Structure 1
């Protein structure tokens, strides 16, 4: 696959991992996400650079700042921007064949589903505005696949983690726990220690995504493939804390909060039944991944102590 025809949109934890997996760098012109009209202008400008080329264009949409606790109004604005961005891409690249990737969410799609493990055949049952937003984005890109002949790969990702987690988003239990160890500060949990989650390391996730996009080339125009991307091995939060304690040889300072974490399932075990051979690309064990996150946070803390 030609890196010159590859565009990764969004440079968070996942976007940077996909850039590494595809061997491409960031776009020369950053997207001004804080202003929707300016963001669309930047997207149009960069899309135009692909207009005169040949071959398939791979577009990886890894952007988005929404989390489960994000207000509905902000999520609606994010979905609106995504829909407008799809139109910009379609009108700017009318004669190019597009392979489009969208990062979605297992937790968003199946939060209220009653019978884990969830597969791609499990009916969607969102439990929050975040889940509704993710499914709205999926629906929007499916429509463009049908009407414009795009080939689309949607990854419903489990709990993504890695050294590049954005701590400002307040997301990522592994990063939050790691930060509490590094800074010797307590962390509050608002969910049961029996809560089950599937954790996938950033580079493993990116390998599965890139592998899926390569396979998408053999699919007919207008086709959308939705796959659950995860480690396919869930662990309770209590067991996760135990593993962290074993690795660091000290207990974390955990405070169990009295609030209730809404819109999140207690059991998010999954089992993909789509392109299952790609699951072998998930190679990082949880202890290995935790160690990488700790080493990165220790390095950041020594340079920028708080």
Structure 2
């Protein structure tokens, strides 16, 4: 995929969609693309939204008359950054605090409109803090991955948020399980329906407690320095509670200690393979 070239990316998406359209039966599409984070400039985010909108227009034409089930990865932090009264649910009024949040919500709205017009079934997953092995470190996010890397590499980590900051961390395999379960449930919804669900562990942890747990598991403190906050557009308390398809939350089975250990061991394996 030529993601750095909007026209090239759209051409690639058109080709892949045409190939997918040759398959019989219901079609499932998962849109998990995007490199935007809360600090990404608005122009870059606008370009991501524009590409998504163009892709949906192409898909609606290519898949006309087909049974399409579409998943969009969205963001709890983007949707509820300035919301009040946690824990937040799907009934909480959205309140973005950054261009990133505005972009994510614009993509949600475009998908809802397309699903309604084309007769698709859509599933929007507002995901909490996703973590796991293989996270893209180039995006400048992923606190667990960054701290784990500091244990392996010995490099210090600078934190720019309060240790009291509350986040909900969901392991990647659990997140995938909830999304797969939601897509299966989507089949029973009426055409043109969009279901929005918060996807998370439903258990908030402070950054201070997270550091304490990592220290306990590794039996030594990580090299952390605290800097002046630059966390614009991020809420200090992002506790959540899903009220949509809550039975799917039972698919989240990886405890935080288990997940932290998996990330650490995967990082060690990665370094061993590089050095081999």
Aligned to 1:165, which of 116, 135, 142?
A: 135
Work out which of the residue numbers 47, 50, 63 in structure 1 matches 2:20: 50
| Conserved? CA contact 1:54–1:96, under 8 Å | no
Deviation track 1:50-79 (CA, whole Å, cap 9, x = no partner) reads: 323321100011111101111111000000
1:95 aligns with 2:65: yes
Name 2:146's counterpart in structure 1.
176
**Which residue number in structure 2 is paired with residue 224 of structure 1?**
194
- The equivalent residue for 1:296 is 266
Runs of 4+ in 1 over 6 A off after TM superposition: none
In the alignment, is the contact (CA less than 8 A) between 1:50 and 1:93 conserved in 2? no
* Deviations 1:241-300 (CA, angstroms, capped at 9, x unpaired): 000000000000110011421000000000000000000000000000000000011111
2:86 aligns to what SS in structure 1? Answer: coil
Match of 2:230 in 1: 260
**How much does 1:202 deviate?**
0.2
Cα distance in 1, alignment partners of residues 142 and 155 from structure 2: 17
Give the aligned partner of residue 238 of structure 1. 208
Correspondence list, 1:64-75, <5 A:
64-75=34-45
Cα distance between partner residues in 1 of 2:197 and 2:274: 39
Q: Distance in 2 between matches of 1:257 and 1:291?
A: 27
CA distance in 2, matches of 1:114, 1:50: 42
In structure 2, the partner of 1:16 is none
Q: Does 1:80 align with 2:50?
A: yes
In the other structure, the counterpart of 1:135 is 105
Q: Pick the aligned partner of 1:194 from 138, 144, 164.
A: 164
Distance in 2, matches of 1:242 and 1:47, equals 47
Give 5+ residue unaligned stretches, structure 2: none
Among candidates 114, 118, 123, match of residue 84 of structure 2: 114
* Inter-partner Cα distance in structure 1 for 2:21 and 2:46: 30
Q: Deviations over 1:108-137 (max 9, x none)?
A: 000000110000000000000000000000
Question: How far apart, in 1, do the equivalents of 2:5 and 2:132 lie?
Answer: 28
2:254 to 277, 284, 289: 284
**Cα displacement string for residues 197-219 of structure 1 (whole angstroms, at most 9, x for unaligned residues):** 00000000000000000000000
1:176 deviates by 0.6
Q: Distance in 1 between matches of 2:16 and 2:109?
A: 24
What CA distance in whole angstroms lies between the structure 2 residues aligned with 1:259 and 1:214? 42
The alpha carbon displacement at 1:191 in A equals: 0.3
Please report the RMSD computed on the Cα atoms of aligned residues, expressed in angstroms: 0.9
- Distance in 1 (alpha carbons) for counterparts of 2:21 and 2:145: 40
Do 1:197 and 1:236's aligned partners in 2 also have CA atoms closer than 8 Å? yes
Q: What TM-score comes out, normalization by structure 1 length?
A: 0.88
Query: How far 1:226 sits from its partner (Å)?
Result: 0.2
